[in-house]
Structure 1
Amino acid sequence: MASSSSSSSLPPPEMGEEEMEFLYECAASAAVADVAAALAGLAALQARLLSLCCFLRGENFYEAPLDMAAAMRRALAEAEAYASKEQVQHNRFLSPRALREHIKNVEKTAIATLQGSPEVLCLQQKSSEEKHENVQLWWAGKELAMGKNLCDYIGVNEKTKIVIRLRQAPHEH
């Protein structure tokens, strides 16, 4: 599979109801479980970066030196642009490495600008590397079974592009 777009229904509460989207590239022979883990990891990083930017947009930079405030606004703008679902329209894939770099850059710039520790600024969040056992992938109205490969559903054409919906599985009690 050349690429897939993931519409995540896992946005953080402050993101509202808007769905997050991104492009992800993998082989048609990829295991559904591997794709699910990769998509869940990307969605978590994207959500973390966007919620961090949203939080910091609400902070007051007026007491910071002008150059520091400008650096903060620039770091936020760059991070938001990179993580934006508009990247899908430009056929650009998200990279977990680049998302992590933007998170580090925004946190580092915020600490310098607001002159506080990460704990004070509420920047320390749960790792987005956690397990994603409760993730489901859906395509063409069907849940993709974790024990299968993508080609079991879409065939072996590596040029195929599909849209997959990533959902949190309902908790069974």
Structure 2
Amino acid sequence: MVILNVKRGDESLFLYETSVNTATDTVIRELISVFNGRLKIQRLCMEIEELADHGTMLPAEMIGLNDDQIEELKLKDSFADRCIPMGGFTFNKDPLCRRNGQQPNEAMRKVLTKAMADAKAMVDKKLVKTSSNLTLKIVEEAINILRGAVTIVYPMKLPPHDTIQMEFVNMEDLSGTQASKEVIEPSKAQLWFAGRQVLPGKQLSEYLGNNDKTKVVVKLNQLGEGPPGREQVMTEQFRRQMMAAEYRRQEELKLLNRTIKAELCHVK
């Protein structure tokens, strides 16, 4: 099986195992699903961290309002009494006024914290250094770990407008957010190898050759971004090794020249 070192720009994100006999359409689709899945896990963990600190999300019409404004407008969070964390809560006001402040107890916060740590570890880009491949199944398992932890703490489910719940049912609205700039739209996805775009409707072997026991770098981007930068001919680590070797060679030459001069002086 061929191993793809998948990059976005110059950053290695994950390793993916496939075959040179696989259709390029399939490879591109699966790589984009894994790429966007990793981003979903990152977004979920950020929001679950807020959930553990400040409870469920307020309705849209209450977000950003202070207590006086909410009272003046006679607004009410109708889900506050229904979506109470298991074991009760203590009040911890959200400084951003996005969540209702009903912080789960310590035991339930630990459940959420452990799930976040486990999910992040499953898709961490550091896995590239340990030669651990990532699959769509692993991404889905990581999301299920987060879903399971949230269900333990909130067995009655979160409010339907909570961004975490919307992520779980794939109804998230990322418009106007930084996250929307990170996600790659499947219809606009492009895969590049060695300065060439890997086009749909072909076999991967047309770009990588027939050697199924190799490891190559591929890059993801989307329509309109232009070709990604080529890989450096030598890595930074290799460049430093070359410079160190050249320095040692020059020092050895200096020592040799001094030795020859000393011997010539001795002969005279």
Counterpart selection for 1:58 from 41, 50, 57: 50
Question: What percent identity do the matched residue pairs reach?
Answer: 24
1:44 corresponds to which letter in structure 2? N
Partner of residue 109, structure 2: 69
User: Once structures 1 and 2 are overlaid, which stretch shifts more, 30-39 or 57-66?
Assistant: 57-66
Partner of residue 104, structure 1: 144
In structure 1, the residue corresponding to 2:186 is in which secondary structure?
coil
2:220 corresponds to which letter in structure 1? L
Post-superposition offset of 1:114: 5.8
Aligned partners of 1:111 and 1:118 also within 8 Å: no
In structure 1, the residue corresponding to 2:104 is in which secondary structure?
coil
Output one character per residue of 1:135-170: Cα deviation in whole Å (capped at 9) or x when no partner: 110111111121221211221111111111111223
Partner of residue 154, structure 1: 208
In 2, distance between residues paired with 1:106 and 1:92?
21
Counterpart selection for 2:31 from 33, 39, 46: 39
Work out which structure has the larger RCO, using CA pairs closer than 8 Å and 6 or more positions apart in sequence: 1
Partner of residue 130, structure 2: 90
Size of the aligned set, in residue pairs, is: 161
Distance 1:51 1:94, change over 3 A: same
Partner of residue 5, structure 2: 5
In 2, distance between residues paired with 1:135 and 1:19?
17
Q: Which has the larger radius of gyration?
A: 2
Aligned partners of 2:28 and 2:191 also within 8 Å: yes
Segments of structure 2 that go 5 or more residues without pairing to the other structure are 55-89, 91-102, 173-184, 226-268
In structure 1, the residue corresponding to 2:18 is in which secondary structure?
coil
Aligned partners of 1:46 and 1:83 also within 8 Å: yes
RMSD, aligned α-carbons: 2.6
In structure 2, the residue corresponding to 1:91 is in which secondary structure?
coil
Distance 1:121 1:108, change over 3 A: farther
In 2, distance between residues paired with 1:48 and 1:67?
25
Post-superposition offset of 1:108: 3.1
Post-superposition offset of 1:56: 1.9
Segments of structure 1 that go 5 or more residues without pairing to the other structure are 10-17
Post-superposition offset of 1:118: 5.1
Post-superposition offset of 1:90: 1.0
Counterpart selection for 1:117 from 143, 146, 158: 158
Correspondence 1:26 to 2:80: no
1:57 corresponds to which letter in structure 2? E
Distance 1:118 1:165, change over 3 A: farther
Aligned partners of 1:7 and 1:19 also within 8 Å: yes
In 1, distance between residues paired with 2:104 and 2:13?
34
In 1, distance between residues paired with 2:152 and 2:110?
12
**Could you state the TM-score of these two structures normalised by the residue count of structure 1?**
0.80
In structure 2, the residue corresponding to 1:133 is in which secondary structure?
helix
